Structure 1
Amino acid sequence: MKRVIICLMAFTVLLSTSCNKDDDEPKKEIIVSAEDLQATIKSDLAQGETVGTVVGSSNDGSVNFNIQSQTPQGVLAIGTTDGVLTVADANLLSTLGDTDIVLVVNVTKGEVSKTANVTITVEEAAVCTTANAAAFSGDIFTDASSEDARTISAMGDDCGLLSVTGVDPFYFLTGDPTDPNTILCDTQISITAQLTPDASNDAGTVTITEQDYGCAADIMAKINGTGTYDVTSGIINLTLTFTDDLGTFESDVIINLENPDTNDSMDTDGDGVLDPDDEDANDPCLPVQSQGYVGYDETNTTWATADCDGDGTSNQDEVANFTDPYVDDSVSCTSTVDTSVWAGNLESEEDLGGFINEGSGTGITGCGTLTFAGDILGIFCDDSPSVTFAFTPESDGATNGTVEVVSQSFACFDGIDADTIEGTGTYDETTGVIVFDYSFYDSDFDETITGTVTITKAD
C-alpha cells in the first residue's frame, strides 16, 4: 500500500511539471501593417471602376479590409479581401468637382487592426466639346514661315482633342527648315491641342496649354499657343510661343490636311482634273467627260464608287468589266458588233521597215465602239491617251467590217493636248484582229505622220 501511494505521488508531480511548461510558452504576436494611399482620379469614372488599392498584410496570413469612415460618404467601396477601392456611386462622384475623398480604412487580422489613411483627389473631368478633331487624323503637314512643309502625324477624337506627333513638328529646333540635317531633335514628341467649336461646329478656336517640347535630351523647352481651325478647308492656323534656356520665341504655323507645297497638283475627286481647274473638286463626275475619256484615277475611292454615267454600275465596276464609265450601258444597244472580243489587255504592232514597234493598252467596250486606252502607237507616252473606234459591220449579222476614228485629241505627253489622231481600218471578230490606218498630227513638229497598226488581244 505504501508503494502505491509513493507511485501516485510521483505521477502527480510529473503531471504538474508538464502542465507548467506548457503554460510558460509565449503566444505568437499578430502583427498587422497598413500603408497610406494617395491617388488622383477624374470625376467621370464609371460605376465599378478601380480607384486604387490599399496595401495591408500580417505575419499570420491574409487580412481583411473595411472602411471605418469616408467623407463624403458612399462614393467609394473597398474589396474586403484585396483592398481594391472602386467607385460605388458614379453619379455622386460626377457632382464632386475638384475635391478630396478622405477615408480611414481598417486592415484587420483577427482582433488585431491597423488603419490606413486614404486621400483620393478628384479632378473635374473636361467637358467634351463637339469639335471634330478626328477630321485631322492621319498624315498632315506643318508649314512655318512659308518654308517647305513637314509631314507629321495626328490623332484626333470626337471630343475636340488633337495630338500632333513629329520630330520638331513646329520648326523651333531646326536651323534650316528645308534641310532635315539641321534638326536638333533626336526623338519624336507629341503636342496636345484642344479644339473648341463655334456655332457651325466645323470651325472654332484652338488652345495649346503650356507643355513640354522635349525632343532633345539636353534641351529643356516649353510650348503654348492659340489659333483657329476649319474642318472644311482642312487648315489650322496657330500662333505659338516657344521657351527654352535661350529665351522666348514666337512663330506662326499652319497645319494642313493637304501638303501646302503640292495643293495645286491635287486631284481630290480623282476625275483627272486638278483641283484649281475643277468646277467641283469633290464631284468625280464634274466636269462631264465624253466617251473614251481615261484620264481618271481608278484607285481614288471617290471616283471609283461614283456612277458617272448613271447606269447603275459604279465606275470601278465599269473599269473591271472593261466598259466605259461615261457611257450609259442601260440604253438598249442596236449594234450587232461584239466588241467584247477586244475587252481587256490589248497590244498593237506596227511594221516600220523591218522593225516591229509595239504598243499596249486596255480595251474598253461600248455599243458598237471600242476605246483603246493606252499607247497605241508605241511612242512611250507619259500621259493617258485613248483612241475610240466606231464599228460598222459589212452586212447585218456579219462578224467583220470597218472601223473609223473621227479626229480626236491624243494626249500622249504630259502638258501637250494639241496632238490629234484619226483614221480608218477593218476588223474581224473571228480572228480578233483590227487593222488601223492612222494619221497622227504631231503639234510639237507641226507635221502629220501616217502608218498602220495591227491590234489584237494580249497573250
Structure 2
Amino acid sequence: MKTVFRIMVLAVVLSVCFSCDDTEDINSGVTVNTEDFTITAPLVVRELDTLGFLRGSSSEGEVTFSLISQTPRNSVKLGTRFGEIIASNPEVFNSGSTDEVRLQVSVKKQKTEKISNVLILRNLNDPDGDGVENNADNAPNDPCLPVQDVSYTGFNPFNALWRAADCDADGSSNLDEFNAGTNPYVDESLIGDADGDGVRDDEDEAPNDPCLPEQFQGYEGFNQDNEVWALADCDGDGISNMDEVANGDSPYPQPDLPCNEILNFELENFERELRTVDSNNGEGVTIGVIGDDCGTFIFTGGSIFNQGCFNEDVQIPFFFQPSAPGSSNGTVTVAATTYSCLSEDGTTSFGFTVEGFGTYSGSASTVELTYTITTEEGEAIPGTLIIRPLE
C-alpha cells in the first residue's frame, strides 16, 4: 500500500512539473520571424548612409536588433529600433579592400531570439570611381569620362583610379584636390575675381562691381588687397572698404530685415527638440534655443554629442550664415566652445572643447557639422554631427 501511495505522489509531482513547463511555454509563447538576406551597396557609399534595413517581426509587436559580429569590423552600425544598417566606415565599401561585409544580428523579443545573417556586397559596377554605372559609362575605366559639370560630387573619393587621375588637367591629382577642398573638375587658376568680392567671375552676377552680389555684416570672403574692392564703399557710409577694414569695422551694412527673412526660414524650425546623430557616439536628442544675435542658435543638453554627459547645462552656440541673400541654406560655424561633461554618479566632470564648420538646410531643419573635440589631456577627436528633426 505504501508503495502504491509513493507511486501516486511521484506521478502527481511529475504531472505538476510538466504542467509548469507547458504553462511557461504557453505564457512565453512569443514567436520571432527573421531571415538571412543579401543587399548590394550603392555605387558610392557616404558616411551615415542607410544601406538597408534588417528584417524581423514578432507575434508581440516590435523586435529589437543587436549586432553580434561584423566582418570587417566597424563597417556599419545599427539603428536598434528600426533596424537601419548605417555605414560607419565608407572606405570599406568604396576602396576595393574587400568585396563584402558580413553581419550576424540578434533579432529578439522578450526572451525569444533568432539570428539573421546579412551579406552586404560592394557595388562593382563602377571600376573607375566616377560614380557612373558601367551600363551608362562610355569609358568605364576612365574616371574623367563622361565629362562632368563643375558642381558634380557623385564620384568615389576612395577609388584608386579616380584618386590618381587629374580630371581638370591642372597638375594636381583628384585626391590632392579633394583633400585640399578644391574642385577636381575645375582649374581654379583660370578663373579670376576681377572685383575682389570673393565671388568667382563665372559665378558673379556683376563681376566688375565689388558690392554685388549684396553682402551683409559678417561676410569676410572679400579680397582686401584687390584695388577695385578696396576703393569701393559697399555700405554707403562715405568710408571706403579698405578704411573700414583698417578701423576694424565691417565694410558691409547690417540688413534691415527680421532675422527669419535674413535666414529665410522659420526660426522655430530649430527652436525645438531635435535628434542628433554623432559619427563617434550614435544618436541623442538636443533642444535648440534662439541666441541673442541673428543667426545664432544654441543647442543644449548633455546628449548633443551623445558622450554620456548627465548634465543638461551643455550649451553649444552655432552661427548660421546664409550662402547667399535670400537662401534658406548656408554654412554653420562653431567657434571654440568649452563645456563640462558630468558622469552618471555626479562625482566626476570632464572638460571638452569643440569647434567646427559645416552646412545647414533651413527648410529641412538639418545641420551637418564636421568638428574636432579636444579633451583636457589635449587629445583631438574628429567627428561629424548631424542635427535633424525627430522622426
TM-score, normalized by the shorter chain, greater than 0.5 = no
Which gives a bigger RCO, structure 1 or 2 (Cα 8 Å, sep 6+)? 2
More strand by percentage: 1
- TM-score where L is the length of structure 2: 0.30
Q: TM-score, normalised by structure 1?
A: 0.26
Higher helix share: 2
